[in-house]
Structure 1
Amino acid sequence: MNKILIGTFIGMLTCAFSAGAEEAQMTRLSKITVDADHLPAYRAALAEEVRASMALEPGVLSLYAVFDKEEPTRLTILEIYASRQAYEQHVKSSHFLKYKNGTLHMVKSLELVDVDPLLPELKIK
């Protein structure tokens, strides 16, 4: 009998942990270097994609792109998604695919860094 109770309790904990993990926000830094010859076109494509994502996808909480002042071809995007599932939906969206496929030839390097926020509950004003 005790084994059944322990097994049930462990199962409940596993389900609760899994459900919480699915709902946890996903935060990532995308570090990108763009070919200087394509920088204006890249910036326009990225701006269009960010605007569409923020307007159309409730699971996209932030796509905040910043360009390095010293090296304007280098940028970092702070990406915050409501969940891993929201991220998965984002990368399948038509506006993201248009951006991704349209800028592939412009990107010299891409590094995706998953990060843990210090205060995940803190919202960007």
Structure 2
Amino acid sequence: MIIGTLIGMAACSFSVGAEEAQMTRLSKITVSAEHLPAYRDALAEEVRASMDLEPGVLSLYAVFDKEDPTRLTILEIYASRQAYEQHVKSPHFLRYKNGTLHMVTSLELVDVDPLLPALKIK
């Protein structure tokens, strides 16, 4: 009984620490075909600025579906929830968001738990 409780407490501690240490999300986006080139340019500018200017943005890795390039997924990794909150208030993110609203036909934000949170992307 005590061992089970200790294991449960350790798992809770690990989960809480992992949440505080890192926030990971998948952004699943569909863009209208006529706006795809302009959207790609705006996203590339935003990703570069975020990675260059924000130490709390650990990864913004965008991939486009080969079968349907209007569909993309962005793997977003932030050092913390606070880093994410700062990111969405940054001038470059707001410029991207407001400038592409009319281009996006769907957006799904999926918070995910990484298998190995401490693993770094090379």
Q: Which has the larger radius of gyration?
A: 1
- The structural deviation recorded for 1:67 is 0.1
Question: For 2:33, which of 20, 33, 36 is the aligned residue?
Answer: 36
Q: How does 1:12-91 map to 2 (within 5 A)?
A: 20=17, 23-91=20-88
* Structure 2 gap ranges (5+): 1-12
Please say if residues 29 and 107 of structure 2, whose CA atoms lie closer than 8 Å, have aligned partners that are also in contact.
yes
Instruction: Provide the secondary structure at the position in 1 that maps to 2:68.
Output: coil
Q: CA deviation at 1:22?
A: 6.5
Report how many residues are paired: 109
* Aligned counterpart, 1:9: none
| TM-score normalised by structure 1 residue count | 0.83
**Cα RMSD, aligned residues only:** 1.6
Q: Distance in 2 between matches of 1:100 and 1:88?
A: 14
State the partner residue of 1:122.
119
Contact 2:26 2:112 in 1 (8 A): yes
TM-score, length-scaled by structure 2: 0.85
Conserved 8 A contact 1:22-1:85 = no
Contact 2:18/2:117 (<8 A) preserved = no
SS in 2 for 1:105: coil
Q: Verify the 8 A CA contact 2:27 2:75 in the aligned structure 1.
A: yes
Q: Gapped runs of 5+ residues in structure 1? A: 1-15
Query: Which residue among 88, 93, 97 is the counterpart of 2:90?
Result: 93
Question: Cα distance, 1:20 vs. partner?
Answer: 3.6
